[in-house]
Structure 1
């Protein structure tokens, strides 16, 4: 609203309200502030999104790398040949060959197995551990634990109950996939394999024992249909 002012000579002047006191000016200021805040907020959101995406990508790449390394570790374990404990490891791989494949062991120790002095060598990669026993620097047993296969087929209670005594190791593997844990040894010509499957059911495990490739015992824990 304008204001009239009269001077000492009786002249009348109209004093207009300064522009910064007018309503349209402050409306314009509010609009500018809102737009600027939105632009800044959008920029922060973009940076946050980019950072989250990069972290997720790195995590995924690290997981893929671990899976690949563990799979290679498992292949090297499977390739190790076991010799006869009672014949000084005859037919088993030499220590030098195993070290060439797996590298230097993480830990070593010496024990007696069925009256025979053996050396235990352990290799680890992440949560996976390979334990190989040697007699006269020849492999006489091997086992792996901490490994977990990604498999589609999950062994349930019905599947477990359907496993017949005398079933071969290869038949079980063909039906349910490779075991996650495996222990193999050869004594006086008798091969014993203890295999463990993590079934995908929370806490569910299946343990099968084979003698000369025929199932001799089976146990399960936590299986459901």
Structure 2
């Protein structure tokens, strides 16, 4: 499967934003250390975290640690560095699906799936394959609606994986479809890696798009993103409502 997916009018972010990504990510991480305060609001249900393209487990370790401190049973996806699907996409997804089903069977509770960038594609597709096991999906900077020519990640994908032969119009259409479970797409208009418009999910009774001010590389540490994630995960199962930002007192 290739990272490019949907042909459309969208363009990749300006090179100026891309160039600023590493520095902005450092600031986002620093802000997380200073401004992210864990609150014990979790109910202990399992949350599987999928890293972005080229991401090793350590890239989501801060996020997983924060979620554990908030009372959630956060897990790494368990596949090491995310170099993209290995071999046939659906056959490869079957292995990840088995993991989701195993977490569900062990706990007797539905599992939340949290995916960053390309990892969000996995989360969305897994929720479509086993919706009875999935409580909700949250994606961070995942351009499921348009990646062809609208991201700066395609070259990296080719270097890591090289297999760009599997994408078809049918698969493109499938990836655009919203999972049949509550779904939140977190995006940033100043994302330097992917076009933010490609991250917009159609609004419905069980789906939403939430804007933040994070960099793409800083999505997994930015304090505002952390607040959104925890707010979404803390909702009692079966009572999902769209995100509402807290109003600051006058």
State TM-score, norm by structure 2.
Answer: 0.22
Which is bigger in relative contact order (C-alpha 8 A, separation at least 6)? Answer: 2
* Rg (Cα) greater in structure: 1
More strand by share: 1
State TM-score, norm by structure 1.
Answer: 0.23
